[in-house]
């Protein structure tokens, strides 16, 4: 099988071979996949990914599937010269080979995958990248997502739906790999074999299918020199939506519906920061981010909240979605108005502290979750 996808933000080519009955067993299938992907992941960088994998999929029941996979990928971060401190560019832009055996568990008990009104959906994805698998970076990764759907009215055609989705992710670098604090150099002085977790392997959040209080992948820690997102090893996002039944409207008939939502969460540099700050609802000591002498102490460890309203228009491939989000507690962050060389500090007259926007607008296809 061959697939291709070409767009302004993503170009992808995929070749795969599928054996649907492994050893003539209908509950097992084997898949070989190779693909190339060039994606603008965040405004911080563009990733080029060449990946190959072999996966064995086990059907446990009608609602549960387990996949065992061995993946090798080579990822290179491009176009970061103006978005990350100069001392980090050489290491962050180096191509990185990742060898990672991982597993995925999916339990799907939704009544409809496109327009769910009841049931639940759970995924667990975990893996370990290690030099024993020819990986150039070492880390463990676990990402869990659970979604539930409850109909609030028994009328089958005119029902409100309360939908919730919670995502928790934790990565643990080990061995030669570590996760730097914002502004910290990637390579440890005197330890040439130590390097930071590559940008493309970190968690990011923000956008129409994530936290709608932030622009695309704009949540979490920021580079103190440029103000661009750096990702992290801890992720928490909780989405709640009240989806209304479609009213009968002129011209639109019953194809348009609405949703009221609340999103909460953030990206954290380290996993322990995530669990220690789940009840922290405001950025701590925000004034530290607004002065050059204390910019390095800017703290992003808190839960950011957003509320908003969404409009959905029914189409044969799923709803077309417009979401309008308002961030109740957006972060402040430092930024220097000039490009800094290694070892330089930002002059006071070039220091330009920023504040993330309260308002965000998104256009997508399909439900948020």
Cα 246 to chain centroid distance, Å, stands at 30
Distance CA 225, CA 44 (A): 12
If one compares 51 and 358, the residue with the highest pLDDT of the two is 358
CB distance 148 to 118 below 8 Å = no
If one compares 187 and 100, the residue with the highest pLDDT of the two is 100
Nearest to 217 by CA among 233, 228, 201: 228
pLDDT of 37: 74
Q: What is the mean pLDDT of residues 103-110?
A: 97
Pairing of strands 161-173, 234-243: antiparallel
Helix (H) / strand (E) element for 35: namely strand 28-42
Q: What is the mean pLDDT of residues 177-200?
A: 75
If one compares 145 and 186, the residue with the highest pLDDT of the two is 145
pLDDT of 176: 87
The answer to pTM > 0.75 is yes
If one compares 108 and 91, the residue with the highest pLDDT of the two is 108
pLDDT tens digits, 326-357: 999 999 999 988 876 666 778 888 899 999 99
Helix (H) / strand (E) element for 102: namely strand 96-108
**pLDDT at residue 310 greater than cutoff 70:** yes
**pLDDT at residue 87 greater than cutoff 50:** no
Distance CA 309, CA 233 (A): 30
pLDDT of 68: 97
Q: What are the boundaries of each domain within the chain?
A: 109-365
pLDDT of 193: 62
Q: What is the mean pLDDT of residues 260-265?
A: 98
Distance CA 292, CA 361 (A): 31
Q: What is the mean pLDDT of residues 144-163?
A: 86
**pLDDT at residue 82 greater than cutoff 50:** no
362: tokens are: 């998104």
pLDDT tens digits, 50-63: 889 999 999 999 99
61: tokens are: 């029941």
Lowest mean pLDDT among 87-91, 100-104, 360-364: 87-91
pLDDT of 45: 54
pLDDT of 42: 47
- List the CATH code of the domain at 109-365: 2.40.160.50
Residues 6+ apart with CB under 8 A from 50: 35, 36, 37, 73, 74
């Amino acid at each position: 099988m061959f697939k291709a996808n070409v767009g302004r933000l993503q170009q992808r080519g995929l070749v795969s071979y599928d054996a649907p009955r492994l050893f003539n067993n209908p509950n097992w299938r084997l898949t070989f996949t190779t693909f190339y992907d060039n994606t603008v992941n965040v405004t911080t960088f563009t990733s080029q990914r060449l990946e190959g994998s072999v996966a064995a999929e086990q059907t446990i029941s009608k609602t549960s599937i387990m996949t065992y996979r061995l993946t090798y990928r080579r990822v290179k971060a491009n176009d970061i010269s103006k978005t990350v401190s100069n001392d980090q560019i050489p290491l962050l832009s180096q191509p990185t080979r990742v060898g990672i055996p991982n597993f995925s568990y999916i339990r799907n008990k939704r009544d409809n995958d496109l327009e769910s009104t009841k049931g639940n959906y759970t995924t667990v994805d975990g893996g370990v990248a290690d030099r024993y698998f020819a990986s150039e970076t070492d880390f463990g990764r676990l990402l869990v997502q659970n979604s539930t759907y409850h109909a609030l009215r028994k009328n089958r055609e005119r029902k409100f739906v309360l939908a919730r989705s919670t995502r928790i992710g934790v990565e643990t670098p080990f061995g030669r790999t570590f996760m730097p604090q914002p502004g910290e150099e990637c390579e440890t002085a005197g330890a040439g074999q130590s390097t930071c977790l590559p940008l493309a392997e970190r968690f990011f959040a923000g956008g129409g299918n994530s936290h709608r209080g932030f622009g695309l992948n704009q949540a979490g820690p920021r580079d103190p020199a440029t103000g661009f997102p750096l990702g992290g090893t801890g992720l928490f996002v909780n989405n709640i939506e009240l989806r209304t039944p479609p009213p009968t409207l002129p011209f639109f008939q019953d194809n348009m519906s609405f949703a009221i939502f609340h999103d909460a969460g953030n990206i954290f540099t380290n996993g322990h920061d995530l669990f220690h700050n789940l009840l922290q609802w405001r950025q701590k000591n925000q004034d530290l981010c607004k002065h050059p002498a204390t910019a390095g102490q800017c703290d992003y460890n808190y839960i950011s909240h957003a509320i908003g309203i969404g409009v959905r228009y029914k189409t044969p491939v799923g709803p077309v979605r417009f979401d309008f989000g308002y961030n109740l507690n957006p972060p402040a962050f430092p930024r220097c108005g000039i490009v800094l060389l290694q070892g330089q500090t930002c002059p006071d007259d070039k220091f330009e502290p920023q504040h993330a926007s309260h308002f965000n607008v998104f256009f997508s296809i399909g439900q948020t979750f």
